[in-house]
Structure 1
Amino acid sequence: MNDLLIQVLSEINANIRADFVLFDENGEMVFGRESFGKNANEKSILLAGKSYTLKAALSKERLEDFCFFIESIVKSRYDMELAAFIRGKPSLVSDFPFPSGLILIQNEVFCCTPNDSSFQGGDVAVNSNLTDKTREFVEEAFEEGIVVHIDNILALILPTEDRNELREAAEALYQTLAEEVSEKTAISLGGIAGSQAELCRAFVNAQKALEFACGKRFGVMSYAEMPLELIISQLSPEIRSEYKNEIDFESFDIDTLSTIRVFLDCNLHIAEAARKLYIHRNTLIYRLDKICAMTGLDLRDFNDALKMKIYLILHEFF
């Protein structure tokens, strides 16, 4: 991404009278030519998520304002060029760090559940202005990543080709934003991209998953892991309504709901589910027997587990 930074700084330098020089954290000059004398001052500056030192022949007061100006211009142009690149449009980006994983973040989301019109690109009632606080936190937490605003979505791009690593990063971010930033967020994964075309496709997929994440009050949604949700979203409201109330999830306590979700997420693996629930194996078996008595579905049986998964999706999203 260094090429884009140099391009933007060159445009700024061509339109202002003040010469300036930029140094990286190692003291290496990355832009400009130091031709001014002893009257120069310097200041730390954050550009595209990285720390630099800017030096110019300006007073300390003017240098403060100048750095703020540079930061604002670079952030705006970076967002514009990166958004175009991610969407597959012409862009000045030429050295994107592939392979990369894509995470989308939306906070203070109050949107309708996915339906036929919204899932095919219709309007969704959303109030989701990401705060500067959220962006700053994400940039500080993932110094090696790229953070960009795309409309009302914050995109985090991490240099990785490990899907598990990407999911772990997303889940940790979801939990930390709730605990430390105190902002409600919806997070989705687009997967790993090795080219601009794959990144564009990952962004579109992550947007679809984000629509579901809007209606889900926990966890992280991954497009690659939600074929059932996508299929069910294409059914008519009448068909969904016919099956939606087969199980009264509202009558379940938190432990029961958590047991169902975790056991299904663990692919019906008792030992793994018990570990994630922080309970003894026998306690999990007791809960599964209780769920079977309440619903008539034994989650240890694949067919019953699949039915429960469908009912749970209808309950959570439609």
Structure 2
Amino acid sequence: IGVADDTGLIIAAQNENLCGENFEGLPEYVADHVEMFKLDKYTVKVIRDKNRLEYFVFIAGDDADAEKSLKMFAICIQNLKLYYDDKYDKGYFIKNVLLDNVLPGDIVIKARELHIQLDAHRVLFLIRTYEKSGIYVPEMIENLFPTKNKDFIFALDEYNSVLVKEVKDNCEPKDLEKLAKIIINTLNSEAMVKAFVGVGTVARHVKDLARSYKEAQVALEVGKVFESQNYIMMYNTLGIGRLVYQLPTTLCELFLEEVFEDASLDSLDSETLLTINKFFECNLNVSETSRKLFVHRNTLVYRLDKIQKITNLDLRIFEHAIIFKVAMMVKKYLDSNPIRF
């Protein structure tokens, strides 16, 4: 009876002479997603974690008794690994900190036991894919950031993975955005996976990691609503979208009713909405907007007058423009019905 790693190298066995030898033929079964099979008078069971091959357990014999004994042995090995991870694995501890599974008073004590630097500056990157690809994302990210003593990479589920990256004290937002771009480009080019990355603010203590994780979650959700064209969402650049996201839906609905009274945003056609968005992009500059839209200045003025007639808001007046911009964001928020954290 024994255990082999994902390459077929025997790392533990009842017969110590087998340790260090290769169990020929084992890796061939990885792609087949077989859980148990017979090989050279041995019964072998595949142990996976979130579809990722971890190791093989094997036992001499290919009858029903051998199969039963191997299943019991596999359970023992898995429980032993869980115990080890809980007690000694740094990544497992960091994961539990993010998920609030560690009491605040125990975080510092446990971090010291595991020799994790308490006051190192770290940033959390939440990587999300929206389709099943069969690619184990953390493994690809590990190749980009191989400093295992300082950086922690793990999967939360089949769609979400986390990178806890140690950064310099003077790290700037543009540096974090550059790291996020590297992750997205790698997943896109090497695995053909479309990914989105939410970036929290810098955690200056290990106790702040859970906060940074929640910020990365919020960044992804808010970004999905208000910046759907972007693949990188930085928490500290969400702006007014973050404020709108925190509002109760009943308050949002009341705000829209008060702003538009009998009218609504739905009554505006696509051409009008395009004009409004371009007008905001050009900082309420009529001449610049007409140039960007390739229309005569008088045509744009006519459209703005039409919008004023429908909504009672003159977008050329700064205060009215702010109200309309917020109203558009509130409408987007209500239409998306996002997850709240």
Question: TM-score normalized by structure 1?
Answer: 0.53
Q: Which residue of 97, 104, 115 maps to 1:85?
A: 97
Q: Do 1:105 and 1:187's aligned partners in 2 also have CA atoms closer than 8 Å?
A: yes
1:207 CA drift (Å): 1.9
**Aligned twin of 2:242:** 230
**Aligned twin of 1:148:** 154
**Aligned twin of 1:59:** 22
**Aligned twin of 2:34:** none
Q: Which 4+ runs in 1 deviate beyond 6 A?
A: 62-65, 68-71, 73-76, 247-250, 253-258, 282-285, 288-292
1:83 CA drift (Å): 0.9
Instruction: Tell me whether 1:103 sits opposite 2:119 in the alignment.
Output: no
What is the correspondence of 1:16-165 to structure 2 with a 5 Å cutoff? 16-17=12-13, 57-59=20-22, 61=24, 72=54, 77=85, 80-88=92-100, 89=102, 93-95=114-116, 98-108=120-130, 131-144=134-147, 145-151=151-157, 153-160=160-167, 161-165=171-175
Which stretches in structure 1 are left out of the alignment for 5+ residues? 1-14, 21-35, 41-55, 109-127, 271-281
Q: Distance in 1 between matches of 2:198 and 2:254?
A: 27
What is the correspondence of 1:235-254 to structure 2 with a 5 Å cutoff? 235=248, 236=250, 237-239=252-254, 241-242=256-257, 245-246=264-265, 251-252=270-271
1:190 CA drift (Å): 0.9
Rate the CA distance shift 1:186–1:72 in 2: closer, same or farther, 3 A: same
Instruction: Tell me whether 1:193 sits opposite 2:215 in the alignment.
Output: no
Q: Do 1:103 and 1:157's aligned partners in 2 also have CA atoms closer than 8 Å?
A: yes
Question: TM-score normalized by structure 2?
Answer: 0.50
Q: Distance in 2 between matches of 1:209 and 1:312?
A: 19
Aligned residue type for 1:147:
I
**Aligned twin of 2:315:** 297
Task: State the secondary structure of the residue aligned to 2:179.
Answer: helix
Q: Do 2:200 and 2:213's aligned partners in 1 also have CA atoms closer than 8 Å?
A: yes
Q: Distance in 1 between matches of 2:134 and 2:234?
A: 24
Task: State the secondary structure of the residue aligned to 2:201.
Answer: strand
Rate the CA distance shift 1:150–1:59 in 2: closer, same or farther, 3 A: closer
Once the two structures are superposed, residues 261-287 of structure 1 have per-residue CA deviations (whole angstroms, 9 ceiling, x without a partner) of 8x49xxx6x9xxxxxxxxxxx977723
Rate the CA distance shift 1:62–1:187 in 2: closer, same or farther, 3 A: same
Identity of aligned pairs, percent? 16
Task: State the secondary structure of the residue aligned to 1:105.
Answer: strand
Rate the CA distance shift 1:218–1:260 in 2: closer, same or farther, 3 A: farther
Cα root mean square deviation, aligned: 4.9
Q: Distance in 2 between matches of 1:175 and 1:314?
A: 32
Rate the CA distance shift 1:105–1:17 in 2: closer, same or farther, 3 A: same
Q: Distance in 2 between matches of 1:283 and 1:314?
A: 27
Q: Do 1:162 and 1:192's aligned partners in 2 also have CA atoms closer than 8 Å?
A: no
Task: State the secondary structure of the residue aligned to 2:228.
Answer: coil
Which stretches in structure 2 are left out of the alignment for 5+ residues? 1-10, 29-45, 56-77, 308-313, 335-341
Instruction: Tell me whether 1:183 sits opposite 2:189 in the alignment.
Output: no
Structure with higher Rg: it is: 2
Greater RCO (Cα-Cα under 8 Å, separation 6 or more): 1
* Count of aligned pairs: 235
Q: Distance in 2 between matches of 1:86 and 1:302?
A: 42
Q: Distance in 1 between matches of 2:96 and 2:22?
A: 37
1:193 CA drift (Å): 1.1
Q: Do 1:86 and 1:200's aligned partners in 2 also have CA atoms closer than 8 Å?
A: yes
Rate the CA distance shift 1:177–1:57 in 2: closer, same or farther, 3 A: closer
Aligned residue type for 2:93:
E
